[in-house]
Amino acid sequence: MNVIKAIMLGALLQIAVSSGLTVYLFNHASDMTQQYALLAEQNANRYTDKISRDQYNQLQIERSQEREDLHVWIDQRIDLKIHKAMEEVNQ
């Protein structure tokens, strides 16, 4: 009878320890998953912020170059009209 009680007690103890270990591992895995997901989200946000900033800067550079080209073109047109006007006055 004592042997049966000892076996039953051992089995119950093994079930309790296994259940506790399973719950602990599940909770630990869930916590680690949340931490890795948060880390991945932060890295993705930093990466997209950098990409967006780089694209914005590139657009600003392109617009600046376009404005500069427009100023040069306008200056050339003005110079051409002044030159033509001066030629007409001299004739």
Task: Write out the DSSP string of 27-66.
Answer: HHHHHHHHHHHHHHHHHHHHHHHHHHHHHHHHHHHHHHHH
Rounded to an integer, the average pLDDT of 52-70 is: 92
Q: Is the dihedral of CA 11, 17, 20, 22 positive or negative?
A: negative
Query: Residue 62 pLDDT > 80, yes or no?
Result: yes
* pLDDT score of 87: 86
Rounded to an integer, the average pLDDT of 36-46 is: 91
